[in-house]
Every structure is written in C-alpha cells, then in structure tokens.
A and B are shown apart, each in its own frame.
Chain A
C-alpha cells in the first residue's frame, strides 16, 4: 500500500530522443507526485510535480502524464540531452503535512551524444 514502483531501473537514450520513466502506486490517499533529479555527487532536487486532479503537467522539455484510474504516472523527457544524464526518482507525497515522501527505486538515465 505504501510502495511506489518505478521502471526501468536504467535507460539509455540517444541525444534528441524521448526518455520515458514509469511509476505506479497503490495508496489512493497520496495527493502529490513529484519527480526528483539527482546528479552524481549531489543530493536529489525537485524537477517537476503534479497533483492527481490534472492529467498532464509540462515544464520545458519535461512532462508528467498522470492516469488516476490506473494509479500510474510517468515522466517524459523530450529532446533528451547529455546534460539530462542523471538518476530520476518518482515519489508520492503522504498527506500528513510532515513532508513524508515515498520514493520509487530510481532510474539511471544515460543520454548518448
């Protein structure tokens, strides 16, 4: 009930391609779904987030697609660049106002030039 399942574990994409990372959850009480980006040697940082009352959110080349009925959401990176190479974590926000997040397993993205 508290898990967020993320796939794939690793992804290799050519420069200019589309990177897609998928996540699924079970607890319908989750009310906020952020994606975090982590570069080597750094802590994760918030990339983009969505609430379950919308089906899509776009910020630049990054888009979250959200399917509430299927309890799934995904991150799409359009025109992927070598600078996007990082580890990406999806997460679900526990509605307790303490900021507690449930993280997915992470996806290591490599964008080849």
Chain B
C-alpha cells in the first residue's frame, strides 16, 4: 500500500513564526502536491513538484514556499505565518507511470492553527 505521512496532525503556531510542514511518501512517486482545505472552498493547490528540486506554483502560492531535496520528501514552508493561513494542509503523491492507476494518494492532513 502507498503510504503518505505528514509530520504533525495538529500544529499551533504564533503569527510571524516560520512553519515547516513535512510530507514523506514511500512509493517512489515522481509527483507530490500540497493543498489547503477550507470549508466551502474544497482543496486548493498551493504548490506541486514533478521531480527532485523541481516545483511549480499552484493556485494559491502566496505566503508559501516548498522544498524537495529528496524524491520521497516534500516540505511546505510558511515563511511568516499569518492567521489567514489557519487551515487543514494535505499532502499527496502521484506516479507518472502510465501503467499505474491514476490516483493521487493523500496523507492524513495537518491542522494548523496560527494565533
């Protein structure tokens, strides 16, 4: 089974702090994603990465950055946390192998509260 793990389930930070959210997948997937989930807005893509050290902005990249130094690990960084970044953050991975099933595999999420 594909497993996507996220470093924390719950996180409370103060405004202005630098926040790191870590995601690790164990299936050698090329593509990894960071989303935020808010009620009524669905899942919105923040950043994605299709290879090590490669990244592309999603729909809402402002206030975030990412790092992918190793294939299995994709980090989301909030340079200076703000209260409007309080949300559920979900990481996902996907294989580019055309013979694999077209499925994004999600981690359990990190609920971040910024005070």
Contact = CB atoms under 8 A, between A and B. Distances in A.
Interface string A84-95: 000001000100
Nearest to B88: A43
A80 B96 CA distance: 35
B99 interface: no
Contacts of B48: 98, 100
A100 B106 contact: no
Nearest to B107: A43
A43 B109 contact: yes
B40 to A, nearest CB: 6
A44 B31 contact: no
A46 B93 CA distance: 13
Contacts of B50: 98
A99 B31 contact: yes
A98 B90 contact: no
Interface size grouping (class) on chain A: 20 to 34
**What secondary structure prevails in chain A residues at the interface with B?**
loop
Nearest to B49: A98
A105 B103 contact: no
A93 B31 CA distance: 14
Contacts of A106: 39-40, 42-43
B34 interface: no
Contacts of B96: 97-99
Interface of B: 4, 31, 33, 35, 39-45, 48, 50, 90, 92, 94-96, 98, 102-104, 106-109
Given A43-B90, A103-B35, 7 more contacts: A34-B102, A43-B4, A99-B95, A100-B48, A101-B104, A105-B40, A106-B42
Top 4 closest pairs, chain A to chain B, by CB: A99-B94, A43-B106, A105-B42, A103-B43
20 contacts: A32-B102, A34-B102, A36-B106, A41-B108, A41-B109, A43-B90, A43-B106, A43-B107, A43-B108, A43-B109, A44-B106, A89-B43, A93-B102, A99-B96, A99-B104, A100-B45, A100-B48, A101-B104, A106-B39, A106-B40
Interface of A: 6, 9, 32, 34, 36, 41-46, 49, 89, 93, 97-101, 103-106
